[in-house]
Structure 1
């Protein structure tokens, strides 16, 4: 889907998300985790940990494994690539990614 056709949902102000942390937002009927890196890059993935079914990924630790930006699940410590949603330890537990943008001091997310 092209970016022009996406339905964007306003999530929060840019300053509401500290560098290297995430927040949870309900976008449509989906729990989405939105992350800000220390380099002010933005990522959005499903917030539900596929192994436990709990909506907790936004509370995970943001970091790097090699050249990948990841979040570690607070429950099972699996690492999710924030760019692709891939679970590095168990690819069958990968999550969806979502378009995210920072514009005019606001964070917006689109769920396809």
Structure 2
């Protein structure tokens, strides 16, 4: 069993009240004024990315990009936001950071989870 990732995510479809399975997600880190891709994943049947990124990350600025256009297209819907980017600062590279996303075709919300 591998160690838990320091950065995880969970996407819920607020319009249907169900997990958003199949959402492509990319994790990047700002390094020397350039975004560097650390990991790419797709949400599982429960809408989760639980093994996302390295087991250890330095403090700094990170970005999670959710490809919402692909998700809504798979449902036969269009969406106002083709992608959602959440940029956040990590103060402690050893802590766990959970980045949830509540999603609908015309709105989204995010917060720091646990």
Q: Same fold (TM over 0.5)?
A: no
Instruction: Output the TM-score relative to the length of structure 1.
Output: 0.31
Name which one, 1 or 2, has greater alpha-carbon Rg: 2
